[in-house]
Chain A
Amino acid sequence: MHKGPLLVARNATRRYGFRTIVRGVDLSVSAGDVVVLMGPNGAGKTTLLKMLAGLMQPNEGSIERHGSIYAVMHETHLYETLTAVENLVFAARLKGSVDRPGIHRLLQLVGLTTWQDNRVMTYSRGMKQRLSIARALLHDPDVLLLDEPLSSLDEEGCSLVLGLLSGSDGKTRAAVVVTHQIDRLLSSSSSVGFLVGGSLHGPLPVDGMTVADVNRRYRELLTNA
C-alpha cells in the first residue's frame, strides 16, 4: 500500500453550468483514516464523492489517487435482472478473475446467502445496499467512499458497515463517509468535515469530540452560511 496519503484533493472545484457545486475542497486521506462528511441536502457531498472516486473530473484543482478506490453510492451499480451471485461474478470478471468461494464468503458476510440466486429486482432497498457493499469489498479497495451507508440498513447491516470502518475484516483501509447519522458513526471516525454551500470546513480530528459538539459546530456553520 502507498505510504503517503491515498487520496489528495487540492482546490477541487466542480461546476454545473454557472453553478458551483463543490468549491475549492482540500482533503487528504491516508490509510486508517475514516473521514465523515456532513452537510445539508444539495451541499455537494455526492458530487465530491464522485470526484474523489474518479467518476467526475474537477473543473479546477486536482485529485490524486494512490490506491484502488470504490464508492458505494445511493445508486447501487447493480443489474436488477441478474442475481446477487451473477452481479458479483460480473464485477469479478471485470477485475480479472472469478473467485467463487470468495464471492460466497462475501455474500455470507453481508448476510445474503439465502437470497443469492434471486434476482436483485426482488430485493429490498437494504438488501441491495448490502449487495452493493459486497461488490465494493470484492474489489478490496484501499479507499472506500460511502454515501449514506446506514440509511437503508437494519441494525445488523449497520453493525456490518461500522465493523468494516473499524477494520474488523483485518484490512486497514481509508474511508470517506457522507452521513447525516453522526451519532452512529462518530465512534468509528477519525475526523469530521462539514460541507456547506460547496465549501469544506475541516476535517477536524474527532479526539474527545462528542456528538453534541459536532452538531453544535454544524449548526453554527449552517447559521453563518
Chain B
Amino acid sequence: MRDVLRVAWAIAAKDVRIEMRTRTALLSSVVFAILVLAILYVARDPTAVSALEIAPAALWVTFSFAGLINLNRAFAIERENDAMSGILMTFPNITGIFLGKLAANLIFVGTIQLVAFPLFVLFYDVPVLTNLPLLAVVTVLATIGMVSVGTLLSSIVVQTRFAELMLPVLLLPFMVPPVVGAVQLTSRILANRPLSELMGGFKLLAAFDLVFVVMPILIFSATFDR
C-alpha cells in the first residue's frame, strides 16, 4: 500500500508540475468558468427569477463543465512520447497510477472551484458565508465522484482519435447522479433548510463516491491495451 501511495504521489506531483508550467488546461477552465457564471447572470431576468433559484444550477453547470475541460488532459500528457509505457515498465501498479491521476485531477478541479466560487458569490449575492461548511462538504463529495469517473473515462478516450469529443459524450451520463444530487443539496443549503433535510442527500452523494471511486480502481487496468 505504501508503494501504491508513493507512486500516486509521484504521478500527481509530476502532473501538477507540468500543468503549472504550461497552464493550458487550468487557464482555459478558469476562463470558461468566469464566462459561464457571467453569461448565466446576465441572462437572468431579476424580476422573474430570483438569484436563489438559479444560483445552485449556475454553480454546478460551471463546476461540471469547467472540470470536464481539465479532465481531457489527464492522460493526454501520458500519450505524448508514450510516457505511460515508461511508468508501466518502472512500476506496473495500475492502482497507484489511477490514484495519482485522480489526485492530480482533484487538485486541478479544486483550483478551478476555488477561483470560480468567489465570482459566484459576487454575481449571485446568495447567503454563502453562513453555509460555507455545508457547501464545502457538498462540493467535495460531488467533485470526488465526477472526477473519479472522469479520470477513468479519460484513460479510455485518450486512445481514441476524437478524445476531446468522446469524453463529454461518455462522461455526462455518469455525471448526472452526483451533479443532480449536488444541485438539490446546494439549493436546500442556500434556502437555509435544516440539516436533517440534507442528510439523505449527503448520504446519497457519499454512496455515489464509494461506487465511483471503487469501480474505476477495479476496472482501470482493463483500459490498457496490453
Interface residue ranges, A against B (CB under 8 Å): 50, 53-57, 69-71, 73, 75-82, 86, 90-91, 93-96, 135, 139
**Distance, CA A122 to CA B18, complexed state (A):** 15
Residue of A nearest to B87 (CB): A94
Set of chain A residues within 8 Å of B14, measured between Cβ atoms: 79, 82, 86, 90
Q: B6 at interface (Cβ–Cβ under 8 A)?
A: yes
**Distance, CA A19 to CA B223, complexed state (A):** 22
Question: Known: A55-B85, A55-B226, A77-B85. Contact between A94 and B91, CB under 8 A?
Answer: yes
- Other than the given A54-B89, A95-B91, 18 more pairs (CB < 8 A) read A50-B85, A53-B85, A55-B226, A70-B89, A73-B82, A73-B85, A79-B18, A79-B77, A79-B80, A81-B21, A82-B17, A82-B18, A86-B14, A86-B17, A93-B9, A94-B90, A95-B90, A139-B89
**Residues of chain B in range 1-53 having any CB-CB distance to chain A below 8 Å:** 3, 6-7, 9-11, 13-14, 17-18, 21-22
Other-chain contact of A80, B7, B81, B225, B226 (Cβ < 8 Å)? B81
Asked if residues B92 and A54 are in contact (CB atoms below 8 Å), the reply is: yes
Q: B200 at interface (Cβ–Cβ under 8 A)?
A: no
**Distance, CA A73 to CA B3, complexed state (A):** 26
Nearest 8 A-B pairs (CB), nearest first? A77-B86, A75-B82, A93-B10, A94-B90, A94-B91, A81-B18, A76-B81, A90-B14
Set of chain B residues within 8 Å of A78, measured between Cβ atoms: 81, 83, 86
| B: interface residue count bin | 20 to 34
Set of chain B residues within 8 Å of A95, measured between Cβ atoms: 90-91
Asked if residues A94 and B85 are in contact (CB atoms below 8 Å), the reply is: no
From DSSP, what is the main secondary structure of chain A's interface residues?
loop
Interface residue ranges, B against A (CB under 8 Å): 3, 6-7, 9-11, 13-14, 17-18, 21-22, 77, 80-83, 85-92, 225-226
Set of chain B residues within 8 Å of A90, measured between Cβ atoms: 10, 14
Residue of A nearest to B18 (CB): A81
Nearest CB of chain B from residue A56's CB, rounded to whole Å: 6
Query: Most chain-A CB neighbours within 10 Å: which of B77, B85, B88, B89?
Result: B89
